[in-house]
Amino acid sequence: MGTTRSPREPDESQRHTKIQFASTMQRAMSLRLRLLQRPVRQLAPGARRASSKAADFADILYGQDTGVRTVTFNRPEKLNALTLPMAQHLTQRLHKLEANATVNAIVFSGSGGKAFCAGGDIRALADNGKDPATRQVALDFFRHEYRLNYLLATTEKPIISFLNGVTMGGGVGLSMHGKFVVATEKTLFAMPETAIGFFPDVGASYLLPRLGRRLVEGEDYVADVPKSQALKGQGLGTYLALTGERLKGHEVIGLGLATHYLPTSEYETLVHHLTGLEFADNVPQEERDEIIHEALEELETDEAFQEIDPGEWIMWNCVLMVLSDGGCFFFSAF
């Protein structure tokens, strides 16, 4: 007679699949840790000056006239896609701004009217990765991008990301780590990596599973919500990670991914309004953040939310309630 097996005991194929999956995840995490721990390759002095100068005058534009500094990603022909020189230069500039007591806030935006930032320059990464002579450049890009994301998440300077167009992949990493995220009617938000067999990176693998926690703790000035809404947030993060769903601006604010919503035409008004704010010396950072939050709220109008369709709102909430019931628990466990 054949040997009987308990119904709860997984068969050999299931056990092999689980072991193989765990091994793959372990190798991926090990590779990322090695990349982050490697020393940054130093460029020749002339090369460093050239790349910084190019980024300063072409790829990133900085406004330095007031206590509110503007950072504009300026590669409109590439939907403001991020490159290694851009990541290096922005990191250096942010360190300087962080040490400057006269800087009260930093505003990120994209030029060209179509994109905030469409992510990393995939074409450049692919080209560099194919050539052994330039493969290190591709690896350096990810290392610098992760360090930049960490800096954005830990700096005390309030960062306001104005999502005036496509915001995907690395663009999500540039925006979501800051304290304030302003959605607009032009926002198109997604982490599309799963469509090509990858997993959400550049900080989204950290942020999305914790989206419910961000909601319930009131981080980034998301409106106070009950615990049930936090569960919906966890489901939302899982859903976005697994599907790469593209969200429009009114969906981004409606689902709690953004803190505020303004028309793109209000960008100059936003900067001017923030510039007029006065901060007392040695005021706690929490109070500074609250002042900026209230200033952003003053600019919001009811017209900004007219794009939200009630039927679509109900549909989204139904989807999130289903996701929060534990059917998709894997990402929330990390």
Placement of tokens 């997984």 in the chain: 10
Q: Would you state the pLDDT for residue 266?
A: 94
Rg (CA), the chain: 22
Q: Does the pLDDT of residue 315 top 70, yes or no?
A: no
CA gap 146, 87 in Å, rounded: 9
Q: Rounded mean pLDDT of the chain?
A: 76
In angstroms, the CA 38 to CA 198 distance is 23
Rounded to an integer, the average pLDDT of 220-227 is: 41
Q: Which of 119, 170, 203, 244 is labelled catalytic? A: 170
Judge whether 169 and 120 are in contact, CB under 8 Å: yes
The Cα–Cα gap between 212 and 256 comes to: 10
Identified catalytic residue from 110, 120, 169, 173: 120
Element (H, E) at 276: none
Query: Would you kindly state where each structural domain of the chain is located, as residue ranges?
Result: 47-202+246-303
pLDDT digits (tens, 9 = 90+) for 165-185: 999 999 999 999 889 999 999
Enclosing H/E stretch for 207: helix 204-207
Active site residue 201: yes
Catalytic residue among 121, 193, 220, 251: 193
pLDDT tops 70 at residue 41: no
- For residue 144, give the nearest of 36, 48, 56 by alpha carbon: 36
Question: Are 137 and 76 within 8 A, CB to CB?
Answer: no
pLDDT at 159: 96
The mean-pLDDT minimum among 40-49, 206-215, 223-232, 308-317 falls in 40-49
4 falls in which pLDDT band (50, 70, 90)?
very low
Alpha-carbon distance of 88 to 147, in angstroms, equals 9
Instruction: Kindly state the percentage of the chain with pLDDT values over 70.
Output: 66
Q: How far is it, in rounded angstroms, from Cα 31 to Cα 36? A: 9
Pairing of strands 105-110, 115-117: unpaired
Detail the DSSP E strand segments found in 137-191.
159-163, 166-168, 180-183, 188-190
Fold adopted by 47-202+246-303:
2-enoyl-CoA Hydratase; Chain A, domain 1 (3.90.226)
Q: Do 246 and 221 contact (CB within 8 A), yes or no? A: no
Residue position matching structure tokens 């930093």: 106
For the sheet with 188-190, list strands across it.
115-117, 166-168, 188-190, 247-248
pTM: 0.73
Category of 249 on φ-ψ map: left (φ > 0), alpha (ψ -120 to 50) or beta: alpha
46 is catalytic: no
**Is-contact 229 215, C-beta < 8 A?**
yes
170 is catalytic: yes
Q: Which of 201, 220, 251, 266 is catalytic?
A: 201
Residue 180, both tokens? 């304030």
Choice between 9 and 289, residue whose per-residue pLDDT is larger:
289
> Is the pLDDT assigned to residue 306 strictly greater than 90?
no
Predicted local confidence at residue 313, as pLDDT: 60
Cβ 164 vs Cβ 109: under 8 Å: yes
Q: Is 113 a catalytic residue?
A: no
